[in-house]
Amino acid sequence: MKNAPLIIFSVIAGLVVLGFLLFSGVVPGVREGPIQKTTIEFWTPEDDADAWDAVLEAYEGSGSNISVNVVQKNPATYHAELLDALAAGRGPDVFFLYDQDTLRFSDKITPLPQSTFGFGPLELRNNFTDFAAEVLVQGVDQKIVGLPLWLDTLALFYNRDIFNSANIPAPPATWDEFSDVAPRLTQISTTRSIIRGGAAIGGSLNVERAVDILSALMLQSGAKIVDAETLETDLGESISLDGARMNPSEQALNFYTSFAMPAKRTYSWAQTMPNAFDAFASSRVAMAFGYSNDIPRIRVRNPNINMSVAPLPQTSVEAVRANYGTLGFLSVSRISKDASAAWHFILFATSREGASLHLQFSGKPPARRDLVTVRAPTTDLQVFYNQSLSARGWLKPDAARVTSIFNEMIENVLVGKFQPSASAEQAGGRLQQLLPKR
């Protein structure tokens, strides 16, 4: 048989590849060595009990000897309760965190034992988005502090009825287009007060996603905000871009605040307006920015709203897309008595099989590369699926204090206390004080 050597070689090659997949953990639920019968506890603030029921049923069906006790926690008190429990030497084996928690909890995590599971930074980058790798691979030793379950991105919500009435056929794709469209959709009284806003952008306290919108503008302009390796901020600093010096955070702050300044051409929003999502739900503003989990909140407030979701505007149609994301991930506690079992569960939960089941019930956008090209279950979600791979973000030392710093940075410009450059520089100094030293 002329083809016999070829057939034998193909079989051997196939066995080698299969062996590698089994060892590397790419095949869900497989790990090195047997796992003793054990029970681990998992805490989550997410309202996704049905999703975890489906994941655990599949996990147990895979032959795992590990039982998982899922404990739903109050989102309002979750972080404080988790920190208290860990400080007291108790608490869960596995806990759910967000990207903004990474620095705050990094010393409370048992990193993934990469040699045990054959899963390292390369496998993480090959299976998940780049943003996930930026957040979850840390230090010179490239330790993995968690694996992502979902990744949400900032998108543009727009009221189709208002757009149709203004004879505007499509939402803005770039920020230049956005600057032209927003004032066209704005209705202003003779006293320069806003009757209907063109876009919920420019303010702080009444724009729920202000930090995210401004961060997106800064990152798109070339800032890092916080360098993931050095943990140093460039907020308020000039950088060299394409051979020229520029201050991306000043540029972004100036653009952002212009929409809430009555004297500006782009005036489209005011600090006296209601909360951005309340205003959008009641058709008092034509555009707003939010994540996929903000959509149900809006539809509950107004089931009849004629809204659509569009991608986040970019600096230009030719630019490499840069979207702003937030992710949810699973980590193992440093006080877990069976960290290997805990990581075994996480590897399954974030595998293609586990993540697919969770997303099917939770309605979250995926963080896995092999799921972002799957057709989204709803039209609303498709934009978020399409933005996952181009998502970016930055490491926040303390979410609440970062929000306070950004809000004050915005307010200082709006009230005329500082010019954008000085306000961004002051914010950068305050942010650097929060960042741990490496």
Please give the Cα distance from 330 to 128 (Å, whole number).
14
Does the domain at 31-153+325-387 match CATH 3.30.1950.10? Answer given as no
pLDDT above 80 for 101: yes
pLDDT above 70 for 27: no
Kindly state the tokens that stand for 414: 């709006």
Residues of the chain with CATH 3.40.190.10: 31-153+325-387, 155-324+394-434
Strands 323-332 and 391-392: parallel
Kindly state the tokens that stand for 41: 């506890």
- pLDDT tens-digit series, residues 73-93: 999 999 999 999 999 999 999
pLDDT above 50 for 33: no
Cβ pair 314, 80 in contact under 8 A: no
Q: What is the mean pLDDT of residues 312-336?
A: 96
- pLDDT tens-digit series, residues 49-75: 999 999 999 999 998 999 999 999 999
For position 35, what pLDDT does the model report?
A: 54
For position 171, what pLDDT does the model report?
A: 98
Q: What is the mean pLDDT of residues 334-353?
A: 97
pLDDT above 60 for 13: no
- pLDDT tens-digit series, residues 120-147: 999 999 999 999 999 999 988 999 999 9
For position 15, what pLDDT does the model report?
A: 41
- pLDDT tens-digit series, residues 414-432: 999 999 999 999 999 999 9
> Domain spanning 155-324+394-434: which CATH class is it, in words?
alpha beta
Task: Look at residues 131, 257, 135 and name the one whose alpha carbon lies nearest to residue 201.
Answer: 257
Task: Look at residues 349, 346, 373, 344 and name the one whose alpha carbon lies nearest to residue 362.
Answer: 349
Please give the Cα distance from 75 to 151 (Å, whole number).
18
